[in-house]
């Protein structure tokens, strides 16, 4: 099956929701694809200093500004999107990702492994790792940024049947892009890491994000990788069914050869 997937990289402006939504709209409108992944916290920016700031930027997964924009785009463009957003649910705040489909369905994942000061304002995610169907029934697993450093996250998604791991990110450490090659190899899945670019400042804090968004196939080959700075959408044609074959060699299946009785996890 031919399936067009994309990764959208840009530099959100902290607390400037209108700018960020318009920027994503402008980047996405000319692009035709089946599935496109965007960065973590794409409409709000990343570098919060307190819960009050997060409260102001957070939104409902049903009818917030991010859900509204992507529902409209998904229908108009006949594309599934995965995008990170600051979720408000029952007066709790999660660092979440939503999968939005052309038929209007929306599925949510809440970041399991919070990074650094995120622990001060976000609740640890409580959704667990589930598989959802994107356009044409392709099996999508979502994780958000720092989930990458815990191999259990990608493993759980792959064992549950993910063909593509959609990975909205705001990366600041230097290792993730290389590590995700391994996540793809050890699980024989596609991974799409959508990172952001740019530097954010808030009071005396400053963070620079590493770009280099990428699409990796189940053999760990880099199909697409952007540079550290560019703002664009890159598209690749893949066959998601390649992820159903878990054989690393004719004698080695990375799922059925697992010797779980030997592991102490």
Residues annotated as part of the active site = 40, 111, 145
Tokens 């450490």 — which residue? 173
Rule CB under 6 A: say whether 207 interacts with ligand ACM: no
The CA distance from 83 to 123, in Å, is: 19
Let me know the angle formed at the C-alpha of 118 by 121 and 93, rounded to the nearest 5 degrees: 40
Per DSSP, the chain holds a count of helices (H) and strands (E) of 6, 16
> Which position among 94, 129, 146, 190 is part of the footprint of ligand ACM (CB under 6 A)?
146
Among 31, 172, 223, 236, binds ligand ACM (CB under 6 A): 172
Task: Report the C-alpha gap between 38 and 236 in whole angstroms.
Answer: 15
* Nearest-angstrom CA–CA distance, 168 and 41: 8
Distance CA 88, CA 109 (A): 13
Among 30-38, 169-177, 215-223, 236-244, which window interacts with ligand ACM (CB under 6 A)? 169-177
Q: 206 pairs with which residues across the strands?
A: 201
Binding mask 101-140 for ligand ACM (x = CB under 6 A): --------------x-------------------------
Indicate the residue among 79 and 170 with the shorter CB distance to ligand ACM. Answer: 170
Q: Is 171 in the site for ligand ACM (CB under 6 A)?
A: yes
Given 145, 165, 192, 212, the residue binding ligand ACM (CB under 6 A): 145
Take residue 182 and report the two structure tokens written for it: 């391994």
x/- track of binding to ligand ACM for residues 31-50 (CB under 6 A): ---------x----------
Q: Beta 139-142 vs 164-168: how paired, if at all?
A: parallel
Residue number, 171 or 226, with CB nearest to ligand ACM: 171
- Note the residues at the interface with ligand ACM (CB under 6 A): 40, 115, 145-146, 170-172
């Amino acid at each position: 099956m031919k399936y067009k997937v994309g990764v959208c990289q840009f530099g959100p402006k902290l607390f400037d929701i209108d700018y960020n939504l318009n920027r994503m709209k402008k980047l996405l409108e000319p692009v035709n694809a089946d599935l496109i992944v965007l960065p973590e916290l794409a409409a709000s920016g990343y570098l919060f200093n307190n819960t009050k700031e997060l409260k102001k930027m957070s939104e409902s997964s049903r009818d917030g500004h991010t859900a509204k924009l992507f529902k409209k785009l998904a229908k108009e463009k006949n594309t599934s999107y995965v995008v990170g957003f600051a979720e408000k649910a029952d007066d709790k705040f999660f660092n979440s990702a939503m999968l939005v489909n052309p038929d209007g369905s929306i599925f949510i994942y809440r970041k399991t492994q919070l990074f650094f000061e995120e622990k001060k304002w976000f609740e640890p995610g409580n959704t667990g790792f589930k598989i959802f169907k994107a356009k044409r029934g392709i099996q999508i697993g979502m994780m958000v940024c720092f989930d990458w450093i815990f191999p259990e996250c990608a493993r759980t998604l792959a064992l549950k049947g993910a063909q593509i791991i959609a990975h909205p990110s705001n990366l600041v450490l230097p290792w993730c892009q290389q590590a995700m090659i391994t996540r793809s190899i050890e699980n024989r899945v596609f991974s799409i890491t959508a990172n952001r670019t740019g530097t954010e400042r808030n009071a005396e804090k400053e963070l620079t994000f590493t770009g280099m968004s990428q699409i990796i196939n189940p053999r760990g080959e880099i199909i697409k990788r952007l540079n550290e700075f560019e703002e664009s959408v890159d598209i690749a044609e893949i066959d998601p069914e390649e992820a159903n074959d878990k054989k690393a060699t004719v004698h080695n299946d990375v799922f059925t050869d697992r010797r779980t009785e030997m592991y102490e996890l």
